[in-house]
Amino acid sequence: MSIRDEVREFVVSRRANVTPEQAGLPDLGGDRRVPGLRREEVAMLAGVSLDYYTRLERGDIHRASESVLNAIARALQLDEVEREYLFDLARIAPSGHRAGQPVVRSVRSSVQRVLDNLTVPAIVHNASQDLIAANPLGRALYAPHFDVEGVPNTARFVFLDPRAEAYYLDWPQARRTTAAVMRRDTGRDPHNAELSALITELSARSPHFRRDWADHDVHSHRTGVKSFRHPEIGRIDVTFDVFEQAGEPGLQIVTYGVGPSAEAARSFARLREWAAARRDERPPAAADPATSAGGGFRRVRTAPVRRQPASQ
């Protein structure tokens, strides 16, 4: 999809999400042919002419000043991530492209040591959704993701792996969030060839991805709570925080803490026990330097930890 097409579809989708009532406009009655605001209403709210806004919505965004883009963002009630995405599109629109950033495929040994010294689960992924490193607790928490040949990929697991629906307690939300994060990353680096190939692959293979991608939502993972249905531990609720790694475009470190309940603490303890059992039962071949660090992707299966009954 061209930058002009993406601008048009994104802005139109955001316009459809805002009702006149939400924008503080009077309800004049009559039939409305659009689900949200009309173009002339957005133009009025932004303080620009209808002709100017129409050209912008059709993709002619590169001439828009920062003040105009901010006015459009306010009129469309964009959140911080959506506003950032709009500005990203405006920055790359003049030439229609921007040089792709290098794809990070591994972490420095010093970063891996930091991960291994953490007492909470931690994973690292790049802009192409590859899980390129983890500590033992992170591998244990995301065990189904790592139980693949080659480098695990979060998006492929969410949309293509039949285990995902059981693993994510709210699988539809996990799908929507994953697609929205990927769209945000296309704005940051629209010529990331691996991310573009992944989007093409998922569009061809997953009807769910096609529907979620068509929503044109954008999202940035920062902090929050997630709930998983771990195949060995059962339900586990965790908090998460995301850290951008300076100097490594697209690389994010995600750490997970105990969720806000006593049962979450018990599940977390069982996860630690299971992760320790995995390390104890790892075959000698795993001492190979290529796979001995937490970021290695050797498939290891162990006997499950007996689950404790949930408290009533």
Measured between alpha carbons, how far is 235 from 227 in angstroms, rounded to an integer? 7
Distances (CA, A) of 182 to 72, 92, 195, 299: 23, 17, 8, 27
Provide the 10 A C-beta neighbour count for residue 267: 24
Residue 251 is given by DSSP the state -
pTM: 0.77
Distances (CA, A) of 27 to 21, 32, 265: 7, 11, 51
Residue 289 confidence (pLDDT) above 50: no
Least trusted range by pLDDT, from 13-17, 76-80, 297-301 = 297-301
Domain identity same for 115 and 242: yes
* pLDDT the model gives residue 4: 85
CATH of the domain at 268: 3.30.450.180
First to last CA, the chain: 52
Domain identity same for 137 and 275: yes
Is residue 310, in this structure, part of any structural domain at all? no
Contact between 192 and 127 (Cβ < 8 Å): yes
**Sign, Cα dihedral of 3, 7, 13, 17:** positive
Q: What percent of the chain has pLDDT over 90?
A: 63
Domain identity same for 85 and 207: no
* pLDDT the model gives residue 1: 63
Residue for token digits 């492929």?
A: 156
Q: Which of 106-110, 188-192, 296-300 has the highest mean pLDDT?
A: 106-110
Contact between 61 and 7 (Cβ < 8 Å): yes
Distances (CA, A) of 20 to 13, 16, 55, 256: 15, 10, 22, 40
* pLDDT the model gives residue 303: 42
Q: What residues make up the domain containing 145?
A: 109-292
pLDDT confidence band for 246 (50 / 70 / 90): confident
| 30 against 67, higher pLDDT | 67
Summarised one tens digit per residue, pLDDT across range 89-145 is: 888 765 544 455 666 778 989 999 999 999 999 999 998 999 999 999 999 999 999
Least trusted range by pLDDT, from 97-111, 127-141, 163-177, 190-204 = 97-111
* pLDDT the model gives residue 93: 62
Domain identity same for 180 and 219: yes
Split into its structural domains, the chain has a count of: 2
CATH of the domain at 48: 1.10.260.40
User: Rounded to the nearest 5°, which phi and psi values hold at 218?
Assistant: -125, 145
Contact between 130 and 117 (Cβ < 8 Å): no
Domain identity same for 57 and 157: no
Domain identity same for 23 and 81: yes
- Segment 25-53 shows an average pLDDT of 85
Residue 281 confidence (pLDDT) above 80: no
Domain identity same for 78 and 138: no
Residue 147 confidence (pLDDT) above 60: yes
Measured between alpha carbons, how far is 259 from 238 in angstroms, rounded to an integer? 4
Is residue 101, in this structure, part of any structural domain at all? no
pLDDT confidence band for 74 (50 / 70 / 90): very high
* pLDDT the model gives residue 63: 81
Domain identity same for 220 and 275: yes
